[in-house]
Each structure stands twice: as C-alpha cells, then as structure tokens.
C-alpha cells in the first residue's frame, strides 16, 4: 500500500460533504482509513474536525484521534467533544494512547474527562499518568496477557482466550506467579504444541529482556532494536508485571528523538512545534542566534588584529572565507555522525578515542585534498606559489580542527552531563570560524609579508 498524501480532490470531496447533512458526510468518509482522515484534518478547521469525529463510529473516531499529529492538538479536540462521545472514545482507546492524550491537558481538564469514564478504565489511566511521560512507565500499555506458572496446557489456553477477547493483538504471553511476579515468557505456538498434561512451568522461557518503569524511553527503544523484539515487559522494582511496550510505540519514540536531535543540532529548541506560529519560532531561535552573534564577533576580532595584512594582501580576505566555510561544513559532518553514534549507544573510552582518531584522519585527508585544489587555483590565478602553500596549510589545518572538534566536543559534553546536540554546534562553529580566519592570516603574515 502506498502512503497517503492529501490532494485537492480529497480535500474538495470532504469540504463539499461538510456542507451537506451527516449521512452525506459519512458516505464521503467511508473510503478513507483512520490515518488518512487524520492527515486530512491538518487542512480543516476546529469546527470541521469536531463535526467529522461526531459522525464517525466510535471505533473509527478513536483511531483518528490517536493517529493525529500531536502538533495539531488531538487532546483539545477530544476535550471539546460532548462528554458522552468523549467517554466512549477514551474507553475504546488503548490505555497508553488514552493516557498520552489526556496527559497533554491541564490537571482540572484531566479530572473532568476521567470522572465520566468507566471506573476501571479511569483507574488504569490515572495509574499511567503517575509515570513521567518519557519513561517506560509513561509509554507502556497495561493491557497484557499473563498466565500463572502453575497452570496446565488446557487451563492456560482457556486463560489466553479469555484475556484476549478485548485485545486487538498481542505478541507475547507473560508467565507470572501467584503474586504477579514476572517469571518468563511463552509463545502461543509453544502452548499449542505442548502435550495436554504439560505444565507451563516446564515449557516457559525464563531468559527474557525486561525494563523497569523508570527507564528512559530512548533506552527502551535501544533494547527493542538491539534484541529485535515485538514487545517488552515493564516491571517494578519487585519484578511485578506492570505492562508492556510494543514496537509501534517505539517507532513513535524514535521519530520523536530523531526530530529532537535534528532541531537541537540546528540551534532550534525542541519546544518549537514544526507547524507553530512565528512568535514561537522567534522565541525558540533568537537566543541561539544572539549567542552565535557573539561568537561571530570573536571571529571578526581576529580579522581586525590583522588589518595590516589584509591591507597589504587583499586577496587573502577572499580565500579565508572559503577556508572558514569549508571548516564549518566539515565540522557539521563530523558532528552529525558523532551525535548519532552517541544517541545509538554509550561509547566506551576506546570507542570515543577511535571516533576522534577517525575524524582526525578524515580531516587530514580531506583538508590536504581541498588544500591542494586551492593551491592550484592560487598558482594559476595569482601566480604566487607561496600564497598557494599558505592556503594549503590553512585549509588542511582547519579541516583537521573541524574533524577533531566535531568529534571531541560532543563526547566531552556528554561526559560532563550536557546534551551534546544542544551546545556542540555553537562551540564547533566558533572553533572553525576562528581557525579559518587565524590560520591564513597568521601564515600569510609570516611567509608573505
């Protein structure tokens, strides 16, 4: 199936149906999947979204709201619905999805929503709301299939059938004792293939991966990726089974973490919504631009220190901007690779050393290659071999500095507890700009004047 992209025909069809009665609107929506309707919502007004949700069956409406991008605030759409419709949608949602939505609301709004929801569902959601949003507890779904370790095959199958009646899907069956302490996992296939008199205790797998409820969501994603799991159990400090995290939740986490890192490297706050207004964008970006302005003045002060060199050798000013720009590009490449390595795993001292060494060698080779090209250009256009040598050395030196700083700065920041994606780019830009101006000006002063 190809991914859905909204076009003018789809939008026109829905907007036209919105002008008619409810039956006409239902007929227009029936050909669209819930995730496609969520995409169409991006082009509709708040009132139009509410009307569509109200005419959709509860099952479809709940899917649409859970599929909506968080930047379009599905929690507000949910809160503004009629209380009865709202409660039906929440009770239809998986507990983790319902919790994700409700957690975005103010505390008094959460209370207002949950007071109308079925008591059992409300209790589960309140329990999940107690965990930080970016932890395994905040990510998990408490709907699990678990069987007692003392059951035989027949009773175990009966229990699985009973527990799965209200679940859309499950990947793993968890084995627990009388106190709901997690003992292991077992597949449905293993139970079915067992002899009738077989006890679960003799066939379950006690070699399994689990996470504690307070583990950061990024670490959960790494574990699921590392062990190729479809789901992972969540336990408390006493190994009591609390819930499960499935791979579809992890896909959302990875997208969120990657977006966050990209924004940080670019000097954009993670709080800025991709579709936010201009005021949010200015508030998010202006502080970083002011800091960059300060570092730019530092680089400019180097040029002012070599006023006499620039006056006597004006051509150097053109070349030094090229060298500084090349250093910035090379540093960005090195930074992106290093931050990505850090995000995937904690590097040991040996791995960190190898990363810096690799970027040093890359900077040396790339710097010498580009420096030789600049040497030839200076020789051909300016007929000055010494100028070419100065530019060769400056280019090589700045790309080495770019590689070293691009790799070492984020590693150092990580070690001292600072997010490397936030501060690295400003520090590295300062190094490459200053070196990009200082090296050619200093070498030109020494060898050409």
What is the predicted pLDDT for the residue at 423? 66
| Helix, coil or strand: residue 104 | coil
The per-residue pLDDT for range 366-415, each reduced to its tens digit, is 999 999 999 999 988 888 899 999 999 999 999 999 999 999 998 998 88
Delineate the domains of the chain, giving CATH numbers in brackets: 8-130 (1.25.60.10), 146-246 (3.10.580.10), 278-448 (1.10.357.20)
Mean pLDDT of the chain: 88
In tens digits, what is the pLDDT along the chain, a chain of 449 residues?
445 667 788 888 898 889 989 899 998 998 899 989 998 998 899 999 999 999 999 999 999 999 898 878 899 999 999 999 999 999 999 898 899 999 999 999 999 999 999 999 999 999 999 999 889 999 999 989 999 999 999 999 999 999 988 787 787 899 999 999 999 999 999 999 999 889 999 999 999 999 999 999 888 988 998 898 889 999 999 999 999 998 888 887 777 766 666 666 655 555 555 555 677 777 767 877 888 788 888 888 998 899 999 999 999 988 999 999 999 999 989 988 888 788 766 677 888 889 999 999 999 999 999 999 999 999 888 888 999 999 999 999 999 999 999 999 989 988 887 777 666 778 888 899 999 999 999 999 999 88
What is the predicted pLDDT for the residue at 408? 93
Q: Running DSSP on this structure, what letter comes out for residue 347?
A: P
**What is the distance between the alpha carbons of residues 153 and 196, in angstroms, rounded to a whole number?**
6
**Judging by beta carbons within 10 Å of its beta carbon (0-12, 13-18, 19+), is residue 317 exposed, middle or buried?**
middle
- Chain CA centroid to CA 271, Å: 13
Count the neighbouring beta carbons within 10 Å of the beta carbon of residue 384. Answer: 15
- Residues 323 and 398: beta-carbon distance below 8 Å: yes
Positive or negative torsion for Cα 436, 442, 446, 449: positive
In percent, the amount of the chain with pLDDT more than 90 equals 57
Which residues are CB-contacts of 27 (< 8 A; sequence separation ≥ 6)? 17
Q: CA 232 → CA 99, 182, 200, 246, 302, distances in Å?
A: 19, 12, 20, 7, 55
What is the predicted pLDDT for the residue at 272? 55
| Helix, coil or strand: residue 237 | coil
**What is the distance between the alpha carbons of residues 221 and 6, in angstroms, rounded to a whole number?**
31
* Pairing verdict, β 231-235 and 241-246: antiparallel
What is the predicted pLDDT for the residue at 1? 40
**What is the distance between the alpha carbons of residues 102 and 109, in angstroms, rounded to a whole number?**
8
Using alpha carbons, select from 298, 400, 329 the residue that is nearest to residue 359: 400
Q: Could you give the count of Cα atoms lying within 13 Å of 329 in the half-sphere of its Cβ? A: 10
The per-residue pLDDT for range 302-339, each reduced to its tens digit, is 988 999 999 999 999 889 999 999 999 999 899 888 88
């Amino acid at each position: 199936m190809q991914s859905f992209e909204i076009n003018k025909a789809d939008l026109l069809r829905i907007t036209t149906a919105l002008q008619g009665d409810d039956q006409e609107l239902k007929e227009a929506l029936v050909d669209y999947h819930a995730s496609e309707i969520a995409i169409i919502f991006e082009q509709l007004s708040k009132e139009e979204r509410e009307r569509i949700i109200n005419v959709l069956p509860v099952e479809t409406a709940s899917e649409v709201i859970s599929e909506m991008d968080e930047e379009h605030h599905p929690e507000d759409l949910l809160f503004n619905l009629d209380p009865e419709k709202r409660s039906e949608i929440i009770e239809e949602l998986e507990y983790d999805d319902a919790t994700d939505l409700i957690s975005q609301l103010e505390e008094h709004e959460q209370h207002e929503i949950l007071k109308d929801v079925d008591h059992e569902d409300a209790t589960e959601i309140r329990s999940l709301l107690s965990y930080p949003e970016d932890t395994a507890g905040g990510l998990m779904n408490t709907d699990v299939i678990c069987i007692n370790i003392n059951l035989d095959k027949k009773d175990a199958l009966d229990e699985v059938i009973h527990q799965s009646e209200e679940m859309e899907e499950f990947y793993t069956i968890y084995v627990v004792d009388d106190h709901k302490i997690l003992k292991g996992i077992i597949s449905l296939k293993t139970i079915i293939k067992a002899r009738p008199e077989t006890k679960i205790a003799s066939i379950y797998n006690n070699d399994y991966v689990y996470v504690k409820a307070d583990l950061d969501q990024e670490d959960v994603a790494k574990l699921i990726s590392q062990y190729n799991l479809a789901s992972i159990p969540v336990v408390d400090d006493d190994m009591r089974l609390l819930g499960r995290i499935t791979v579809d939740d992890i896909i959302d986490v990875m997208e969120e973490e990657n977006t966050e890192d990209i924004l940080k490297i670019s000097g954009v706050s993670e709080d800025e919504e991709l579709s936010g207004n201009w005021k949010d964008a200015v508030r998010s970006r202006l502080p970083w631009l002011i800091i960059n302005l300060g570092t730019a003045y530092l680089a400019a002060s180097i040029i002012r220190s070599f006023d006499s060199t620039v006056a006597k050798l004006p051509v150097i000013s053109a070349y030094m901007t090229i060298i500084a720009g090349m250093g910035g590009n090379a540093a960005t490449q090195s930074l992106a690779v290093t931050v990505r390595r850090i995000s995937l795993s904690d590097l040991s001292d040996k791995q960190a050393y190898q990363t810096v060494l690799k970027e040093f060698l890359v900077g040396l080779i790339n710097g010498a290659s580009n420096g030789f090209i600049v040497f030839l250009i200076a020789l051909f256009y300016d007929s000055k071999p010494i100028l070419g040598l100065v530019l060769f050395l400056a280019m090589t030196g700045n790309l080495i500095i770019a590689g070293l700083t691009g790799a070492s700065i984020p590693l150092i920041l990580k070690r001292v507890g600072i997010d490397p994606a936030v501060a690295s780019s400003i520090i590295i830009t300062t190094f490459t700009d200053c070196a990009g101006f200082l090296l050619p000006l200093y070498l030109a002063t020494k060898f050409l004047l």
